[in-house]
Amino acid sequence: MFSIDRLRALAAVAAHGSIAQAAKTLQLTPSGVSQQLAKLEHEAGHPLLEPHGRSVRLTHAGRVLATHADRLLAQLAAAERDLADLGDDVIGPLRIGGVGSAVRTLLPRALAALTAAHPRLTPTVRDGEAVDLMPLLLAGTLDLLLVESWANRPVFVPEGVSVRTLTSEDAYVAVAADHPLGDRETIGLAELAGTAWAGCPPGTEPYEALLQALRAHGVEPDVHYTVAEHLTQLALVEQGLAAALIPAMSRRPAPPGVRFLRTRPALYRDIKAAWLTRAASPPVRACVNILSGPPTRAP
């Protein structure tokens, strides 16, 4: 009899191509995943992995078993969904991941109302960027995401994931109050050629949106400071060290020495809820519904 956890480890390696990435997705150590796979090889009676450069790849037997593992895990997820749907009760765990600004501004009030209406619900929350959170959703480690999708750099939505737009908001260029252009209401990004920027870490949605926005106006980005928190970016802006591209919901609280200028043309981002279509449990549906209402546009 094969262990479900060991089959899940094999499926993760097959999906991500490495033990290290599989371990990150499963929230285990690489040695822990390796131990699971070694035991699975013993159970299977066939080698499942073989060296491939500095990494590993599945053998033919490994690919055959991984295919069965995917089917079995999908069936187990369906069983969990069916059990969760019994009576359509909003009970049990709800594991949420989201970008920090959305977690701070949208989620607390929604969770307060949700848990008041459904006291047997036990939500947990972790913040992060879509590039890190989406693999956790696909692996079943998270149930629901709040991700950002910029107009000039829409978020990639994998097959089997449903999304709903919760809010749409303008983005602003933040500059120091004594910046030569700080008394303006609007600004063209081409006017900021040669400016140092503060932004989120490379590979994240806001970082890529910043790069594409500047390059679309003939400006090669010069990102000196890569920090995840908008408030930290604004502290650098206040001291005249950089400019930053800040969405509306992150303008408060802001240091007093920062000006927010609208861009020409306007830039905006959406906050979207994302969940596995096949795992839309009553807790997920209830949370999405209470977060939604009609989509809004924040100035």
Residue type present at position 288: V
Tokens of 44: 């299977």
- CATH T-level topology, domain 170-268: D-Maltodextrin-Binding Protein; domain 2 (3.40.190)
Q: What is the pTM of this model?
A: 0.70
Do 4-84 and 170-268 come out as alike in CATH topology?
no
pLDDT at 295: 45
Summarize pLDDT for 259-288 with one digit per residue, the tens: 999 999 899 999 999 999 988 889 999 999
Look at residue 82 and tell me whether its pLDDT is greater than 70: no
pLDDT at 48: 86
In the chain, what are the domain boundaries? 4-84, 88-167+271-298, 170-268
pLDDT at 84: 62
pLDDT at 185: 93
CB 215 within 8 A of CB 207: no
Give the confidence band of 87 by pLDDT, cuts at 50, 70, 90: low
CB proximity list for 175: less than 8 A, separation 6 or greater? 181, 182, 237, 243, 258, 259, 261
Give the confidence band of 290 by pLDDT, cuts at 50, 70, 90: very high
pLDDT at 22: 87
With 0-12 CB in 10 A as exposed, 13-18 as middle and 19+ as buried, what is 33? buried
Give the confidence band of 18 by pLDDT, cuts at 50, 70, 90: confident
* CA dist., res. 150 & res. 260, Å (int): 18
Mean pLDDT of 25-30: 86
Span 4-84: which CATH code?
1.10.10.10
CB 175 within 8 A of CB 299: no
Summarize pLDDT for 35-75 with one digit per residue, the tens: 888 888 888 888 988 888 777 888 998 899 989 988 888 88
Provide the 3-class DSSP secondary structure of residue 256: coil
Of 22-31, 172-181, 209-218, 227-236, which gets the smallest average pLDDT?
A: 22-31
pLDDT at 88: 65
CB 103 within 8 A of CB 111: no
Tokens of 194: 């040669």
Of 198, 211, 206, whose CA–CA distance to 241 is shortest?
A: 198
pLDDT at 83: 65
Give the number of residues written for the chain.
299
pLDDT at 76: 83
Residue 65 phi, psi dihedral angles, 5° rounding = -70, -35
Round the average pLDDT of the chain to a whole number and report it: 90
pLDDT at 293: 67
Provide the 3-class DSSP secondary structure of residue 275: strand
Summarize pLDDT for 109-135 with one digit per residue, the tens: 999 999 999 999 999 999 999 999 999
Provide the 3-class DSSP secondary structure of residue 1: coil
- CATH T-level topology, domain 88-167+271-298: D-Maltodextrin-Binding Protein; domain 2 (3.40.190)
